[in-house]
Structure 1
Amino acid sequence: MATYAIGDVQGCFESLLKLLEKCRFDPAGDRLWLVGDLVNRGPRSLDTLRFVRDLGPAAVTVLGNHDLYLLMVAAGSGRRSKGDTLDEILNAPDCADLLDWLRHRLLCHREGEFCMVHAGLLPQWTVARARALAAEVEAALTGPAHQDFLANLWGSEPAAWHEDLQGWPRLRVIVNAMTRMRFCSPAGVMEFKTKGELADAPPGQLPWFEVPGRLSSADVLVIGHWSALGLRIEPNLLALDSGCFWGRHLTAVRLDDRALFQVDCSTCQEGV
């Protein structure tokens, strides 16, 4: 049995199938870890959702910002972005079932030495603490008040974690760190405007994984989200968003031995 961690698919379904073929993925014995952003921008988000859902326990998926955006839009809470590719999902006969399945995905998954999250963890969180905080969000997203949660999710404030945060601001900080963060200050104040390469870091900001003393550094963080960062393989970091939608590559890493698999995605935007 092998476990393959895969970067952001974003509706590039054909690229996903080619990558799984290259990995010789066998759903009867192997497992997939998907770092989030299954949907949006690419041409076949509906097929991607259906396929991953139908893999059942063979696939572990954490929520990305585009997945949450889909849930917000479907709930009437998110402002539509120009160029999104969600209508096929929203108009599908099984839309309600797919959204219900998506709402029940994890925000953060921990297993052995690995922790998978879409964007990152704030420097003052251990992996155990992050997993407990993720559970708070997951309870809100799957509970009877999930429509209220989605209505209050949008926004970038507060930009830092404080233990005394309560209610929607508390959950919003957790979500923003785990699904949107790239740069933050050494004190963990997040900056959301900059989306470029490491050299583009704003004054006083660092890539979250380079903050000195980060409490999650003893674990291996498996992430996506940051296409400008590209593939980055380090002892305690597997950054797997290698820009599939942008015509670069879709990447898988076999966690058992860190073997690398990639497919070309130069045709992903065709049909968008």
Structure 2
Amino acid sequence: MRKIVIGDVQGCLDELKALLDLLDFKSSSDQLIFLGDLINRGPKSLEVLEFLYSMNHCVSNTLGNHDLHLLALAIGNQPYREKDHSIKPILESKNKINLIEWLRHQPIMHEEPSFNSIMVHAGIHPSWDIFQARSMAREIESLIQSNNASKVLSRMYSDDSWSADLEGTRK
């Protein structure tokens, strides 16, 4: 089985499909690992999510900042802005609930034993070791998947700095 790692699709479905064709991707035997930002800048954010959701059996994804922004719009009480226009079709989709639930259950950090690697969207704080990074990733994943998700996601946009002294949704 091949493991194909792809970053920042950004709503560009046609380009993603062209890349998969070039790689002769086989959903029956290959695994796709995405490193966040599935959506936003390109014209087909909804279609990217639907495409990957339909191949859930062979797709892993880490959440990126654009994916987290979508979650904040969908469940975090973050107000819609005109510059979010590429996300609007997702928010209006008949399949919105399934797509949002699928996305909010994606990890922040992907561990790949076959590569002896960890993968994230935008990096790990340089002072953290692997154990702290794993712990922080699991904590935020748990919060995003909890009943407190809207509170956590709405705080993503505050001016408060992260602090090790904080716990739970306050962190």
- TM > 0.5 fold call: yes
Which structure is higher in RCO with an 8 Å CA cutoff and minimum separation 6?
1
Match status 1:140 vs 2:140: no
2 CA distance for matches of 1:89 and 1:153? 20
Counterpart of 1:149 in structure 2 is: 152
Identity of aligned residues (%): 36
Match status 1:41 vs 2:44: no
1 CA distance for matches of 2:59 and 2:159? 30
Q: Deviations over 1:103-162 (max 9, x none)?
A: 100011112211111101011111232112111111111112222222222235315x53
1:78 Cα deviation from its structure 2 partner: 1.9
**Greater share of strand residues, 1 or 2?**
1
1:81 Cα deviation from its structure 2 partner: 4.0
Match status 1:119 vs 2:122: yes
Q: Deviations over 1:212-239 (max 9, x none)?
A: xxxxxxxxxxxxxxxxxxxxxxxxxxxx
Question: How many residues are treated as equivalent by the alignment?
Answer: 168
TM-score by length of 1: 0.58
Is the 1:157–1:169 Cα contact (8 Å) retained in structure 2?
no
Unaligned runs of 5+ in 2: none
> 5 Å matches for 1:105-254?
105-112=106-113, 113-158=116-161, 161-162=163-164, 164-170=165-171
Q: Which has the larger radius of gyration?
A: 1
Structure-2 change in CA distance of 1:165 and 1:76 (3 Å):
closer
Unaligned runs of 5+ in 1: 171-272
Counterpart of 1:203 in structure 2 is: none
**Greater share of helix residues, 1 or 2?**
2
Counterpart of 2:60 in structure 1 is: 60
SS of the counterpart of 1:11? coil
2 CA distance for matches of 1:129 and 1:16? 33
1:56 Cα deviation from its structure 2 partner: 1.4
1:77 Cα deviation from its structure 2 partner: 2.2
1 CA distance for matches of 2:122 and 2:170? 19
2 CA distance for matches of 1:149 and 1:123? 24
